């Protein structure tokens, strides 16, 4: 069993995104799963006329913190990369991080998320099948 926790400052992502769209795209490709990249593209298209950098930064910070917590929970048993991880919600609304490992069965890691002011905190618990 593994437990991971991460806290992230949302404004840190706002500052990073001020570097421009091309920088955002490179960063997104490194940390987002292919499904999250599509979701991010839809968010940007919806916000074209009324871009909300704070909402975008919060969206990224949530994924970053969740993936960092899950990374800590599954190490050293599994070697994973951020772009293999995808934050989704179960049928009952609980956030779950899925790890899409090439050629292997995906891992499912339950997470708990909290947002307060300028912070996101994530806790992940990995319980391997016995």
Confirm if 3 and 36 have CB atoms less than 8 A apart.
Answer: no
Q: Which domain holds residue 75?
A: 2-126
Note the pLDDT of residue 48: 64
Q: How many residues does the chain have?
A: 130
Confirm if 65 and 120 have CB atoms less than 8 A apart.
Answer: yes
Please list the rounded mean pLDDT of every run of 10 residues in the chain (130 residues): 96 84 85 93 72 80 97 92 94 93 85 96 88
The pTM (predicted TM-score) of the whole model is 0.89
59 CB neighbour count, 10 Å cutoff: 19
Structural domain total, the chain: 1
Largest CA-CA distance found in the chain, in angstroms, rounded: 51
Task: Say which CATH number the domain at 77 has.
Answer: 3.90.470.20
């Amino acid at each position: 069993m593994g437990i991971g926790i991460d806290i992230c400052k949302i404004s840190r992502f706002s500052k990073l995104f001020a570097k421009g769209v091309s920088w955002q795209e490179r960063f997104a490709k490194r940390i987002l799963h292919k499904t999250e990249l599509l979701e991010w593209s839809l968010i940007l298209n919806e916000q074209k006329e009324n871009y909300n950098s704070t909402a975008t930064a919060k969206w990224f910070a949530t994924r970053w913190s969740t993936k960092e917590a899950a990374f800590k929970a599954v190490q050293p048993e599994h070697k994973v990369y951020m772009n293999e991880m995808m934050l989704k919600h179960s049928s009952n609304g609980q956030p779950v991080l899925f790890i899409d490992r090439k050629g292997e069965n995906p891992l499912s890691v339950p997470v708990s998320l909290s947002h307060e002011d300028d912070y996101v905190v994530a806790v992940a618990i990995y319980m391997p099948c016995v």
